[in-house]
Each structure stands twice: as C-alpha cells, then as structure tokens.
C-alpha cells in the first residue's frame, strides 16, 4: 500500500468469542474505527455531517479475508487507503497487522447518502476537497 | 414473580467471550429483547412510537446480579414483570433461567423521553392503557 | 437458490446504529445465527463439537453486498444454502429478505480447525455425513 | 473519587443505536476497557492470567446509573477506582465524563475464578501485590 493512514486498536474481552479469538464480525468494527479516524484526520466529522449536511456514509459492500486470528490483549495496527474516489462513493483497501503478521484484509465500498431519504447523493464539494487534500498521493 | 411475561432466547457465538461463556454485557441485550417482546405483546411497537409519537423509552438505571454463566447453544428463558408503573417511568424485574438454574437477575428502570429533546415526558395515555390492560395483575 | 434453509430473525435496538438502521457488521451475526440453526437442524451442535471433537468452524472469508437496510422491529427471513462442501471447508450463499425486498447477500467460506492448534483439519466423517444427508439436494 | 485511574474512549458508530445515542449496554464495554487498562497499568495482563495462572476475573454484579447520553464522536473520560479489595474479589467505582458532564456511574463487583471450574479462587499473591502496590492510596 502507498503510505496508508495508520491507526492502532487494542483487543478487549468484548471483542473475543468462545473460540478464544476475536469474533470475526468485530473486524468490521475495527475497520470502521480506522476509517472514522482517517476522516477525522482530514477534518471530517461524521456527527457533524449528519447534523449539518444531512448526509452519511453507508457501507455498500465488504469483502474480508481472515488470514490469522487476533487474541485478547493484542495491539493491532490498521492500515487504511482509499483506492478509488468517486462523486458519491469511496473504495477502501484496509489491513490489520499484529506485529509482522497480516491478520485480515478488507475491501470496503462506501456510498454517500441523504440522512432523510437514505438515497445516494454527491459528496459535498468541501468534504471531497478535504479528502483529496489530505490524501492526494493515494487517489 | 406473579405470572411474568416469558420469552426464550438462544445463545450464539456472537454472545460469548474468550472465557467460553456469555459476555456479561450481553445479558442487557437479552433483557431488552424480552422487554421489547413484552411491549409487542401489549401491541406497543417501539419503531412506531419513535416515528408517530416522537417518544422513546430509555434506560435510567440497571442493576444486575450474575449468579451463573450461560454458554454457547444454551436455550434461555427470560421472565419479565413490571413492578412499578409511573406516569413517565416503568420499573422491571427480570430473570434469566437455563432449565432449573437462575443465571441472572435484573432490576431495570425505564424512562419515557421525547425523541427530539431527550427529556422526560409522560407516557401517552393510549400506550399506558395498553400496558395496564395487558399486564394489570402485575401492576 | 435451491430449497435453502430458512430462519427468521427480529431486529432489536441493540442491532441498530445512529443512522436509524441495522449496523452493517451485525448482518454477519444474523448470517451466523442462521448457519448455526442450519447445523442444528442437521443435528450438529457447535458447543459439542468444541468439547467432544476438539474442532470448530471458523470463517475464512466473507463477501457481503448491502442492497437495502433493515430497521428496528423488522422481521427478517434468512436463506442459507451450501454451495460447495469440501473435506475441511464449506461455502455458503446466504440472503436476508424483509418481505419482498432483498436486503443483503453473503458469500461465506468456512474452515474446520482444531480447537487446540487453530489449524485446518478434516470435518469428522460422522459430521460430514449428517450435513450431506440433511442437505443432499444442495450439494 | 480519590486519584482514580483515568482512561479516554472515543465513541464510534458501532456504539450508537437508533436513538442516536450510545446503546446503554455498551457502557459496560467501556467500563471493562478501563478496568483492563487499569490492570495493565499495574502490569497485570488478563490473557496471561488465563494461560499461565488458569484464573480469570468475572463480573458478579453491576449497578449503573445513566445520567446523560454519549453521542457519536464524543471523547469520553473514564475514572476507575477500587473501593474494596478482598482475597478473591474487587469492588470498583467507575464514572464516565464528557467534558464537565457526568454521563454514567457504575458499581462493579468482580470475582476471581478458576478458568477450569469457573469457581471462586483466591487472587494469586503476586497479582494481589501488584494491584496493592500500584493503587495503595485507593484501598
């Protein structure tokens, strides 16, 4: 990946299941936390988007490969990169690493929708610009 | 308890933690499912309340005792009884049983709030009546 | 799909997010509940597998398409079909419907692993037979 | 509270519900994260406890008061203090603050149990000492 955004996440009891490892649905939560922090680093705040702009980002598709499990107390490193940026959508490639081990890979497609109609709408120009400025090498 | 409302819940992988038992925060989810079904049995639907009446029920306090753990695949029986019904609040006593074993006891205080202000408001008369009619022996 | 296994799931508050719809990671929980019930219908119980056979099923990959959102109080119908059955793996195609609307589609690859080593191992013959007998038209 | 341990937690989408606020069961997750970090600060690691010492800490009771809700993107401050330390148990008082607003208060009783029998057992002397050394003013 080309200079992705990096975010660290600690594994807690709540994330594990009776198999003794992180419940696989919870990786989607980790990936979303990383995307939220990536947006925040670009000065885009989702709560404000919903209130001020009446838009929100929703996940259109997710494709995850689970290579190796994370365990209680692990400190994970998440890499997040935009691989495609459209007028109303973003495609992400994300990875979770524990030390030198790649645990999980995700391809996530996000759409921008109106909070009122839940229908697709263009990403507002000022938001798009913030994303482009912050992450131009990746796009 | 006096003729409480009964609802069954199955334990799935998602509910367990690395200790091999149900993660204790998840009992709050089970208790809420049972209260939702208790309301539904009284013909009160929370999604409609939020849309039509602009109110919602929020939890003000929860006190849980964890006596014994539930495990993957267990089929649990939940008992739900109203022990106090006010103009803007409900107090519940709830229990989770697995066969003849009492697993968890909960005392939950619920308040009725406006969805717009998140401030307390009286339970609408028609809703209150539905609850009283359905559950008069308990109140 | 060819005569899939069907399981119904109700949406509760715990499943929703601030967008007013089901949080997309939670569909993975729904799909797993349906697979667990599909196994149970074939007389295979995951808790017993872990204790008696020292094996467990783990998710190797998940690919989900989110077509339309589910909302609080919705009653969902899940279809589950095995589309490939190997010696140590199962591939599932699963769908979530709300009435006549297809909400979500999933392709899930499952592997059988030892609970001790977390490494792949063959599905025990008796378990494989139960799955084949119960679901032969699908395989 | 007397010089409690402090830990910050950010609210993400996964934590919210259709009411637009943090789902109240999720505060139990936040409180547990804070207790885990409090233990880690005392050089006690729960994954190691389970593997090396065959013990784990389980929650015996939880009593929470929900004063005001947290919202998406809030950065919360959690205070954690031991108010009683026994041979096989710990009692915690915990608080969640958002800026100058107290959101939630919790009283949590924890027991030490064997991972094999899930029955109470004494906290190992070396663990107890670490806790006492790190947190003597609070006990």
How many percent of chain A have pLDDT more than 90?
78
Nearest-CA distance A86 → chain D (Å): 23
Question: What's the pLDDT tens digit per position in A81-132?
Answer: 999 999 999 999 999 999 999 999 999 999 999 988 889 999 999 999 998 8
Question: What's the pLDDT tens digit per position in C13-22?
Answer: 999 998 889 9
Of A28, A63, A69, the CB nearest to C28: A28
Residue of A nearest to C113 (CA): A19
pLDDT of residue A139: 45
Closest to A97 in 3D by CA, of A88, A106, A87, A89: A106
With 60 as the cut, is the pLDDT of residue A72 above it?
Answer: yes
Q: Say if residues D30 and A7 touch (Cβ distance below 8 Å).
A: no
CB contact set of A128 (below 8 Å; sequence gap of 6+): A85, A87
pLDDT of residue D133: 75
Question: What's the pLDDT tens digit per position in D9-48?
Answer: 999 999 999 888 999 999 999 999 999 999 999 999 888 8
Residue by residue, DSSP assigns C34-95 as HHHHHHHHTT--HHHIIIII-EEEEEEEEEEEE-S--BTT-EEEEEEEEEEE-SSEEEEEEE
Q: Say if residues B60 and B109 touch (Cβ distance below 8 Å).
A: yes
Q: Does D99 touch chain C (CB under 8 A)?
A: no
Record: contact C61-A60, CB cut-off 8 A = no
Residue by residue, DSSP assigns C97-119 as EETTEEEEEEEEEEEEEETTT--
Q: Give the model's confidence band at D2: pLDDT under 50 very low, under 70 low, under 90 confident, else very high.
A: very low
pLDDT of residue A131: 86
Phi-psi region of A29 (alpha: psi -120 to 50; beta: other; left: phi over 0): alpha
Beta bridge partners of B76: B9
State the ipTM, two decimals. Answer: 0.90
Q: Is A52 a catalytic residue?
A: no
If you search the block for the tokens 């409480």, which residue do you land on?
A: B4
pLDDT of residue A75: 97
Q: Which chains touch B (3 or more CB pairs under 8 A)?
A: A, C, D
Question: What's the pLDDT tens digit per position in D63-90?
Answer: 999 999 999 999 999 999 999 999 999 9
How many percent of chain A have pLDDT more than 70?
94
With 90 as the cut, is the pLDDT of residue B79 above it?
Answer: yes
Pick the residue of A14, A25, A66 with the most C CBs within 10 A to test the interface with C by mutation: A25
pLDDT of residue D28: 98
pLDDT of residue D136: 52
Of D26, D50, D61, the CB nearest to B65: D61
pLDDT of residue C61: 98
With 80 as the cut, is the pLDDT of residue A138 above it?
Answer: no
CB contact set of C80 (below 8 Å; sequence gap of 6+): C4, C5, C6, C7, C31, C34, C35, C38, C92, C93, C94
Nearest-CA distance A37 → chain C (Å): 17
Question: What's the pLDDT tens digit per position in C50-106?
Answer: 889 999 999 999 999 999 999 999 999 999 999 999 999 999 999 999 999 999 999
């Amino acid at each position: 990946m080309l200079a992705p955004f990096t975010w660290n996440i600690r594994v807690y009891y709540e994330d594990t299941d009776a198999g003794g490892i992180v419940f696989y649905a919870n990786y989607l939560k980790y990936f979303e936390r990383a995307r939220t922090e990536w947006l925040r680093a670009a000065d885009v705040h989702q709560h404000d988007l919903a209130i001020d702009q009446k838009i929100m980002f929703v996940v259109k598709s997710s494709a995850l490969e689970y290579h190796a499990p994370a365990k209680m107390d692990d400190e994970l490193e998440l890499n997040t990169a935009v691989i495609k940026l459209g007028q109303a959508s973003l495609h992400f490639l994300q990875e979770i690493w524990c030390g030198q081990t790649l645990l999980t890979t995700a391809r996530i497609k996000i759409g921008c929708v109106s909070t009122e109609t839940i229908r697709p709408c263009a990403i507002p120009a000022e938001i798009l610009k913030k994303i482009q400025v912050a992450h131009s090498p990746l796009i």
